[in-house]
């Protein structure tokens, strides 16, 4: 199968469970057709890094320990300061299309998330016309392509970000309509560019599935803490609407692709929100391994009877009234934990033995304050740090959800035990995977209920908090692959495919060596 043309369509963060369910019941006929005649397999993102770094890991074929990206705001090595990775170079490893381009292959790379423009691409590239988290903003190579798209198609109807709070049922309907319209316009752009020439490799990613999953899971899932039957009935199911629109797009693009090998990829999935990262700072403070700034310590003291009574009264108010009054409440309470991660770590890092760093809500990050690496390191490397880590992991494992008595934390990994590479020191040292059995749905979504999370252990006592983030869906590491085209036999690959395997597979099919990879080619697709 060497030197075949490839068309890759990404269904960003699409739930494999929903895809299979809606294939079975006829909701997604075009995906069903591909599955019937193609080769499919489950896919798996990376342990500890299945949120922000998924796409960089897929398109470089390397782990974050090699490409260096794990979150939108990262600790600058050798400091206690956060920085935005795109201010330097977002991803340190080259994308596989760099090697394709260098080998003379004609490539078209459209809206692949978290990518930077290739300065000398042999083809075209479009960044963030429709993206879930815009990092660079809409731009293209060649630059004049952006002018053509602006003039003929305009910008994505949903705008540069999908996040929004306090949406009514009518707002959700409008939001879904904008996403569906975005899919339709993106399909027109894709078909036009695909038809311009016989590309060796062509990629388009539908990020609308990502947006719908994060923002609207509570409208789809009756078990979600923020589910409201009235709002859901009036708003419909935006996730289903978006998936249906993307399925139509798949049908149209596949017909235009002719005899190309078509890869439909969901690199990671989506389901109900979970994770109590918003409690991690206070948990580490109670364990006396993280020191809070003086102002935060004052606020973390037991609340007064007046404050406790006020909080109780607040939660008895009708949801619609709470939604109206929330801006006033937020202004008065001025909770520093709501500040964006890019502003401050929110801890006295240099006087802490460890401290939390951003890595997403599903898997938290902890940085060890190691002597010789950090400016004011407190932990001696070697046996002393190992002993500290073992004790900390044991203490974290004791923490339970106060409502259910179940462990709040599923596991804690030491990053160096999972990965190795030149960027290892840019990553969190410990990865705290929260249990997805503990629902932590946002309360800031229309009239839905929120889930207050209570953490308890003998060492930390009781710590309670509420997810104030507007997203009600959260990532899961599992995804799916469907490959169809001439020479591909129908069937299912029994093993799970790592997202690291796509880069060496695509380069292998096109007969181009990949300089460095942590993945392995999918042999069933290389003949």
Residues 6+ apart with CB under 8 A from 306: none
C-alpha radius of gyration, the chain, whole number: 23
281 shares its domain with 263: no
Using the 8-state DSSP alphabet, how is residue 501 labeled?
Answer: G
- Cα distances from 332 to residues 280, 326, 335, 336, 446, in angstroms, run 24, 10, 9, 12, 21
Same domain flag for 200 and 163: yes
- For residue 479, what is the domain's CATH number? 3.40.720.10
At residue 219, φ and ψ (nearest 5 deg) are -85, -20
The pLDDT value given to residue 304: 37
- Looking at the fold, whether 167 and 109 belong to one and the same domain comes out as yes
- State the residue range of the domain holding 315: 277-466
Could you tell me if residue 514 is inside a domain? yes
| CA dist., res. 76 & res. 255, Å (int) | 47
Rounded to whole angstroms, how far apart are CA atoms 75 and 427?
8
On whether residue 1 sits in a domain, the answer given is no
Task: Please tell me the total count of domains within the chain.
Answer: 2
Strand partners, 430: 366, 414
The answer on 283 and 253 residing in a single domain is no
Residues 254 and 368 in one domain: no
On whether the CB atoms of residues 91 and 69 are closer than 8 A, the answer is yes
- Beta-strand relationship, 39-44 and 491-492: parallel
Length of the chain equals 527
Based on the fold, state whether residues 72 and 21 are members of the same structural domain: yes
pLDDT of res. 165: 65
Could you tell me which residues are beta bridge partners of residue 39?
483, 491
The 8-class DSSP code of residue 208 comes to H
**Order of strands, sheet of 354-357, starting from the edge strand that comes earlier in the sequence:** 354-357, 363-368, 430-434, 409-414
- Which pLDDT does position 89 carry in this prediction? 85
Identify whether residues 215 and 287 lie together within a single domain: no
Residue pair 268/54 in contact (Cβ under 8 Å)? The answer is yes
Backbone φ/ψ region at 516: left (φ over 0), alpha (ψ -120 to 50), beta: beta
What pLDDT, on the 0 to 100 scale, is given for residue 451? 62
Domain boundary among 442, 466, 490: 466
Task: Say if residue 308 is in the same domain as residue 387.
Answer: yes
SS3 135: coil
- Whether residue 483 is found in the same domain as residue 460: no
Task: Using the structure block, give the residue that is written with the tokens 């590491």.
Answer: 477
Q: Are 501 and 263 in contact (CB under 8 A)?
A: no
Query: Token digits for 195?
Result: 């038809």
Domain final residue pick, 424, 445, 466: 466
Q: Are residues 171 and 300 in the same domain?
A: no
- One domain, residues 335 and 191: no
Q: Which of 440, 466, 492 is the last residue in one of the domains?
A: 466
Pair 453, 480 in one domain: no
Q: Are 434 and 277 in contact (CB under 8 A)?
A: yes
List the pLDDT tens digit at each of the 527 positions of the chain.
Answer: 445 899 999 999 999 999 999 999 999 999 999 999 999 999 999 999 998 899 999 999 999 999 999 998 999 989 999 998 888 888 999 999 999 999 999 999 999 999 999 989 999 999 999 877 788 899 999 999 999 999 999 999 998 878 776 788 999 999 999 999 999 999 999 999 999 999 999 999 999 999 999 999 999 988 888 888 999 999 999 999 999 999 999 999 999 999 999 999 999 999 988 878 889 999 999 999 999 997 654 444 433 334 433 443 444 444 444 444 444 443 333 333 333 433 478 999 999 999 999 998 899 999 999 999 999 999 999 999 999 999 999 999 999 998 889 999 999 999 999 999 999 999 999 999 999 887 776 555 544 445 678 899 999 999 998 777 778 888 899 999 999 999 899 999 999 999 999 999 999 999 999 989 999 999 999 86
* Burial class, 204, CB count within 10 angstroms (exposed 0-12 / middle 13-18 / buried 19+): buried
């Amino acid at each position: 199968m060497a030197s075949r043309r490839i068309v890759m369509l990404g269904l960003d963060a699409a739930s494999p469970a929903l895809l299979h369910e809606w294939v079975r019941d006829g909701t997604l006929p075009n995906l069903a057709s591909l599955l019937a005649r193609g080769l499919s397999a489950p896919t798996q993102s990376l342990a500890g890094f299945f949120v922000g770094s998924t796409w960089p890991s897929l398109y470089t074929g390397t782990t974050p320990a090699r490409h260096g990206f794990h979150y939108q705001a990262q600790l600058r090595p050798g400091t206690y300061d956060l920085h935005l990775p795109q201010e330097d170079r977002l991803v340190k490893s080259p994308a596989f299309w760099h090697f394709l381009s260098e080998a003379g292959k004609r490539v078209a790379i459209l809206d692949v998330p978290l990518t930077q423009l290739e300065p000398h691409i042999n083809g075209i590239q479009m960044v963030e016309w429709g993206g879930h988290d815009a990092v660079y903003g809409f731009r293209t190579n060649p630059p004049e392509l952006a002018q053509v798209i602006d003039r003929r198609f305009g910008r994505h109807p949903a705008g540069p970000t999908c996040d929004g709070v306090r949406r009514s049922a009518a707002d959700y309907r409008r939001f879904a309509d904008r996403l569906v319209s975005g899919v339709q316009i993106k399909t027109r752009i894709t078909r036009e560019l695909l038809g311009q020439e016989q590309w060796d490799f062509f990629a388009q990613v539908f990020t609308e599935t990502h947006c719908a999953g994060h923002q609207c899971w509570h409208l789809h899932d009756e078990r979600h803490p923020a589910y409201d039957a009235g709002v859901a009935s009036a708003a419909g199911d935006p996730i289903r609407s978006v998936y249906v629109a993307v399925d139509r797009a798949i049908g149209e693009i596949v017909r235009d692709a002719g005899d190309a090998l078509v890869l439909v990829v969901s690199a990671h999935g989506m389901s109900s929100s979970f994770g109590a990262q918003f409690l991690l700072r206070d948990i580490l403070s109670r364990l006396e391994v993280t020191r809070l700034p003086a102002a935060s310590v004052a606020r973390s003291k037991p609340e007064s009877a007046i404050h406790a009574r006020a909080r109780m009264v607040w939660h008895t108010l009708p949801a619609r009234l709470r939604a109206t009054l929330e801006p006033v409440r937020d202004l008065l309470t001025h909770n520093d934990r709501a500040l964006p991660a890019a502003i401050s770590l929110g801890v006295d890092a240099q006087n802490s033995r460890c401290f939390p760093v951003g890595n997403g809500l599903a898997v938290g990050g902890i940085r060890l304050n190691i002597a010789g690496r950090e400016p004011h390191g407190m932990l001696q490397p070697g046996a002393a740090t190992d002993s500290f880590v073992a004790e900390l992991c044991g203490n974290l494992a004791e923490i339970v959800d106060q409502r259910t008595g179940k462990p709040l934390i599923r596991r804690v990994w030491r990053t160096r035990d999972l990965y190795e590479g030149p960027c290892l020191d840019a990553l969190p040292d410990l990865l705290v995977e929260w249990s997805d059995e503990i629902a932590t749905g946002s309360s800031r979504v229309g009239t839905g209920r929120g889930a207050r999370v209570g953490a308890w252990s003998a060492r930390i006592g009781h710590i309670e908090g509420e997810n104030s983030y507007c997203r009600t869906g959260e990532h899961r590491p599992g995804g799916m692959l469907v490959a169809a085209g001439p020479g591909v036999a129908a069937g299912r690959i029994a093993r799970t495919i790592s997202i690291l395997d796509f880069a060496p597979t695509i380069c292998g099919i096109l007969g181009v060596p990949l300089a460095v990879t942590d993945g392995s080619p999918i042999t069933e697709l290389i003949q």
